[in-house]
């Protein structure tokens, strides 16, 4: 099955035509219009420097349902003690820069290219890409960023300078979005660390059905720091029965 070459038109082939592994198309650009169409269609870009843009729609898809989130007793204690201050959209630029320079096991270089940073910074300016920061003693200790459309959050990458920092950011994000009716966190491709937090693979067809339902909801567009209030309030809702083995805090998603 061929890999499709994109031109200047904002058009993608049907995701069912992706080759084994999930590659659907190459080329095009990272303009806001194309990126928004991609995410709404179950497609995302993932490539390295000195390569053309590669567009993916893997089958199966790796997702986290908020009500399946697993939180260890130790992480619950960290959250309850407020070891980290968690914020939304306070420092998107620093978060994505740290994600792009974080060392990944089994990877050389980064897939968050300069072109990618510029594109997602523009989505952030438009109120569609968001960061979650974990602060300790006024210093950024970890965080993550992603895109949100409808009531779906598409996780892109995370980093940590201190142990448990990005875990705290992710758990707080999931609990906060769950409280606002988000049924799905798209983690895109499998990682064992996110699996340990409750993420699992589902067939692409099922993912597309859930995604279509999510796109019917209004997008929470704008500054999430202002729109979502104080994340500390969400921590009171952590389930008592949760358990988790751990998460690799510098693993990309994908």
Q: Report the Cα–Cα distance between both ends of the chain, in Å, rounded.
A: 24
Same domain assignment for residues 77 and 49 = no
CATH of the domain at 173: 3.40.630.70
Same domain assignment for residues 51 and 170 = no
Tally of structural domains, the chain: 2
Same domain assignment for residues 201 and 160 = yes
The mean pLDDT value for 36-65 works out to: 96
Question: Is residue 249 in some structural domain?
Answer: no
DSSP code string of 143-198: EEEEEEETTEEEEEEEEESSTTHHHHHHHHHHHHHHTTT--EEEEES--HHHHHTT
Question: Is residue 169 in some structural domain?
Answer: yes
For residue 21, pLDDT over 50 is answered with yes
Same domain assignment for residues 136 and 46 = no
Q: Which domain holds residue 171?
A: 62-235
Same domain assignment for residues 97 and 163 = yes
Same domain assignment for residues 118 and 197 = yes
47 phi and psi angles, rounded to 5 deg? -160, 175
Q: What residues have CB less than 8 Å from 9, skipping those under 6 apart?
A: none
Question: Is residue 88 in some structural domain?
Answer: yes
Question: Is residue 112 in some structural domain?
Answer: yes
Question: Is residue 140 in some structural domain?
Answer: yes
For residue 235, pLDDT over 60 is answered with no
Q: What is the pLDDT of residue 248?
A: 32
Question: Could you say which DSSP state residue 28 is in?
Answer: -
Q: What is the pLDDT of residue 230?
A: 67
For residue 215, pLDDT over 80 is answered with yes
Question: Is residue 243 in some structural domain?
Answer: no
The mean pLDDT value for 51-66 works out to: 96
CB of 166 closer than 8 Å to CB of 142: yes
How confident is the model over 172-213, as pLDDT tens digits? 999 999 999 999 999 999 988 899 999 999 999 999 999 999
Same domain assignment for residues 182 and 219 = yes
More confident residue, 49 or 109: 49
Same domain assignment for residues 171 and 76 = yes
Same domain assignment for residues 178 and 153 = yes
More confident residue, 125 or 106: 125
How confident is the model over 6-20, as pLDDT tens digits? 999 999 999 999 999
For residue 232, pLDDT over 80 is answered with no
What percent of the chain is modeled with pLDDT above 70?
87
More confident residue, 253 or 20: 20
How confident is the model over 120-161, as pLDDT tens digits? 999 999 999 999 999 999 999 999 999 999 999 999 999 999
**Range with lowest mean pLDDT among 19-23, 89-93, 192-196, 247-251:** 247-251
Last residue of a domain, one of 60, 84, 99: 60
CATH of the domain at 30: 3.30.70.3550
For residue 74, pLDDT over 70 is answered with yes
Average pLDDT, the chain: 89
DSSP code string of 100-125: HH---TT--S-SS-HHHHHHHHHHHH
Same domain assignment for residues 77 and 112 = yes
Left, alpha or beta for 33 (phi > 0: left; psi -120 to 50: alpha)?
Answer: alpha
Question: Is residue 47 in some structural domain?
Answer: yes
Same domain assignment for residues 107 and 22 = no
For residue 243, pLDDT over 70 is answered with no
Same domain assignment for residues 218 and 230 = yes
Question: Is residue 116 in some structural domain?
Answer: yes
For residue 100, pLDDT over 80 is answered with yes
């Amino acid at each position: 099955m061929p890999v499709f070459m994109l031109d200047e038109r904002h058009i993608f082939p049907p995701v069912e035509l992706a080759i084994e592994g999930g590659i659907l198309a190459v080329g095009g650009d990272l303009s806001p219009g194309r990126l928004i169409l991609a995410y709404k269609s179950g497609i995302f870009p993932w490539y390295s420097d000195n390569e053309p843009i590669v567009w993916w729609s893997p089958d199966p898809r790796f997702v986290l349902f908020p009500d399946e989130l697993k939180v260890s007793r130790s992480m619950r204690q960290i959250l309850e003690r407020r070891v980290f201050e968690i914020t939304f959209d306070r420092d998107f630029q620093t978060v994505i820069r740290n994600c792009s320079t974080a060392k990944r096991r089994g990877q050389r270089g980064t897939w968050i290219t300069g072109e990618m940073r510029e594109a997602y910074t523009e989505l952030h300016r438009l109120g569609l890409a968001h960061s979650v920061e974990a602060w300790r003693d006024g210093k950024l200790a970890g965080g993550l960023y992603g895109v949100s459309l409808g009531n779906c959050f598409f996780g892109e990458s995370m980093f940590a300078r201190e142990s448990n920092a990005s875990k705290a950011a992710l758990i707080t994000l999931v609990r906060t979005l769950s409280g606002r009716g988000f049924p799905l966190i798209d983690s895109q491709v499998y990682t064992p660390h996110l699996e340990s937090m409750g993420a699992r693979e589902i067939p692409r067809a099922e993912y597309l059905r859930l995604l279509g339902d999510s796109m019917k909801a209004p997008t929470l567009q704008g500054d999430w720091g202002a729109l979502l209030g104080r994340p500390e309030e969400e921590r009171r809702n952590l389930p008592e029965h949760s358990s988790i083995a751990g998460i690799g805090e510098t693993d990309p998603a994908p």
